[in-house]
């Protein structure tokens, strides 16, 4: 059965999208579904390519038992639009930037639409303090949990398994 591939995207791939990648990966591992998902993150800009996530993102994730320190920032590549089933942008500016360079069939969605159901942007915490990063973590955790539940249930029903992911 085909794995579901998800790419989380923010502007520089050092704050929001690495957190989303780490949170979703952690939830997938806890649910025992590692082989069912391919998870990555990228930025619409390349200013930080090769750099680790922002130290505040690393610290926030670590305080919740998630290690994102091994991730490295990268810029979105043309192949990402065909390699990933779902590309989740953190805000409307990211969605607009992606749509300018993506083929029409690319699965670009706003994280706040598909994962939270609220249509909200995930705010960029870069210029804020620890509370800004904690707020982003909380919104991402809520959305990633919901997303995994939805995708996990869909995957289970496709395979004939009636158990749900919790």
Active site members: 10, 16, 124
Give the pairing of strands 37-43 and 86-89.
Answer: unpaired
Beta carbons of 54 and 132 less than 8 angstroms apart? no
The closest of 41, 31, 33 to 6, measured between CA atoms, is 41
Give the long-range contacts of residues 121-126, CB within 8 A, separation 24 or more.
121/90, 121/91, 121/92, 122/10, 122/16, 122/20, 122/90, 122/91, 123/91, 124/10, 124/11, 124/15, 124/16, 124/90, 124/91, 125/15, 125/16, 125/56, 125/57, 126/12, 126/14, 126/15, 126/54
């Amino acid at each position: 059965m085909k794995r579901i591939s998800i790419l989380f995207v923010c502007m520089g791939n050092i704050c929001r999208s690495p957190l989303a990648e780490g949170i979703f990966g952690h939830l997938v591992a806890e649910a025992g579904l590692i082989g069912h998902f391919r998870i990555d993150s990228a930025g619409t800009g390349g200013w930080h390519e090769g750099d680790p996530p922002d130290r505040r993102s690393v610290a926030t994730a670590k305080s919740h038992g998630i290690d994102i320190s091994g991730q490295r920032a990268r810029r979105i590549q043309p192949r990402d639009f065909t390699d990933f089933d779902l590309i989740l942008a953190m805000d409307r500016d990211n969605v607009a930037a992606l749509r300018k360079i993506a083929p029409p069939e690319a699965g670009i969605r706003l994280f706040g639409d598909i994962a939270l159901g609220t249509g909200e942007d995930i705010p960029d915490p870069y210029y804020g303090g620890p509370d800004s990063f904690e707020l982003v973590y909380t919104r991402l955790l809520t959305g990633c949990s919901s997303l995994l539940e939805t995708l996990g249930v869909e995957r289970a029903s496709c395979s004939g398994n009636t158990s749900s992911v919790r």
